[in-house]
Amino acid sequence: MEILSPFSKQEEVLPLIKAGARELYCGIVTGEWEKRFTYIGSSNLRHDKAANLSSFKELEQAAKTASRHAVPIFVAFNAHFYSKQQLPLVLEQVKKALSSGASGLIIADPSLIELVKAKFPNATLSLSTGQPCFNSHALQFFKQLGISRVVLPRHLTVGEAAKLAAEAKKLGLETEAFALNAICPFIDGLCTFQHLVEPSQAMPQQPLACRSSFKVTATGSGKRKQVAVAHARIWNNTVSFDCGLCGLPFFLRAGVSSVKIAGRANSLEKKLADLAAVKQAINAAKTLSKRQFTERATGLYFDLYHRSCQCINCYYPTAGKWGK
């Protein structure tokens, strides 16, 4: 099981590889794209400059460095959909990405998958979590469409994710599962929130729209209604200290190809710290008992965030101490 790390600057590539990243991914928003469609219309669902390369020349240099270490780079074109005006430029950028040394592309829009496979039949395509794949029938459909890897939806339980990974393996598909950062309370592919709002005094960093102040109502009655409302309210302006380390033993057994660290806009220091934590957790998952691993994972979480883990920040609460 490999570690897939984000990068947003060419000079981050070598330090990340030396720290243990065996796969890398990035997004690109060029000056041409920004001029025509702005960052709000990002081609890869990240709307801040800190999260993206700004040119294919940067990608080319990054790919040269990565190829010397046999590390693939995946480029994200994972907006939910593209307009008729955007599609020609997207296809042109896909061509540039592949010619610049990208090993594969991360795509959400099924129509773009079909177009890319028609024009670039040898391209390696990953299905973005922005197009969630819920079951084995969806796996078969996207494989027929041209996908060779699936990013498992981040809202799944660890059991559901492991089962889907095992099914994908039977079909010859690779899988990715999230290990750190960026939990979402909603299903990515069904979410229409914009990933950019104005910074606030309470949050100097730009928070996601789903973590801005909002009112919550729920249908139904009884405990389920109370739980639903409480869960949504917790997300209101919650700072992200998200972790999925406790799912790693399950993913190892299920044959997950790669564990993914979110956070393209994070600093290099944070990316390196994330890599170190995931690398240690994978090694621990191979040798420790369930109880020992849970203790080790919660210790790594404390070292990473300098706080005790909480259920709301846990990707896979049934896998670790919250499942007891």
Which is higher by pLDDT, 42 or 100? 100
Q: Per-residue pLDDT for 2 more than 90? A: yes
DSSP of 51-116: GSBS-HHHHHHHHHHHHTTT--EEEEE--S---TTTHHHHHHHHHHHHHTT-SEEEE--HHHHHHH
Which is higher by pLDDT, 231 or 308? 308
CA distance 90 to 153: 24
68-80 residue pLDDT tens: 999 999 999 998 8
Which is nearest to 41 in space by CA: 94, 83, 8, 91? 83
Q: Where are the domains of the chain?
A: 2-183+240-323
Across all residues in the chain, what is the average pLDDT?
Answer: 87
CA distance 194 to 199: 14
Q: What is the pLDDT of residue 234?
A: 60
Q: What is the pLDDT of residue 238?
A: 55
Beta bridge partners of 127: 107, 150
> Could you tell me if 97 and 75 are in contact, meaning their C-beta atoms sit under 8 angstroms apart?
yes
The rounded percent of the chain whose pLDDT value lies above 70 is 87
- What does the pLDDT average to over 88-109? 96
155-201 residue pLDDT tens: 888 889 999 999 999 999 999 999 998 777 777 777 766 665 545 44
> Could you tell me if 89 and 32 are in contact, meaning their C-beta atoms sit under 8 angstroms apart?
yes
- What does the pLDDT average to over 28-44? 87
> Could you tell me if 132 and 187 are in contact, meaning their C-beta atoms sit under 8 angstroms apart?
yes
- What does the pLDDT average to over 249-267? 92
- What does the pLDDT average to over 90-108? 96
What does each C-alpha distance from 127 to 34, 168, 293 come to in angstroms? 25, 12, 30
CA distance 201 to 195: 18
Q: What is the pLDDT of residue 142?
A: 95
- What does the pLDDT average to over 49-56? 90
Q: What is the pLDDT of residue 320?
A: 77
112-165 residue pLDDT tens: 999 999 999 999 999 999 888 999 999 999 999 999 999 999 888 888 999 999
Burial group, residue 281, by CB count within 10 angstroms (0-12, 13-18, 19+): buried
Q: Per-residue pLDDT for 1 more than 70? A: yes
Which is higher by pLDDT, 282 or 319? 282
Q: What is the chain's percent helix, strand, coil content, to nearest 5?
A: 45, 10, 40
> Could you tell me if 202 and 263 are in contact, meaning their C-beta atoms sit under 8 angstroms apart?
no
Q: Per-residue pLDDT for 321 more than 90? A: no
Domain 2-183+240-323: CATH superfamily, name plus number? Copper homeostasis (CutC) domain (3.20.20.380)
Given the structure tokens 């480029």, which residue do they identify?
A: 75
Q: Per-residue pLDDT for 282 more than 70? A: yes
Reduced to 3 states, what is the DSSP secondary structure of residue 235?
Answer: helix
Confidence of residue 7 (pLDDT cuts 50, 70, 90): very high
Which is nearest to 150 in space by CA: 131, 163, 122, 137? 131
Which is higher by pLDDT, 46 or 256? 256
Which is nearest to 181 in space by CA: 266, 243, 238, 128? 243
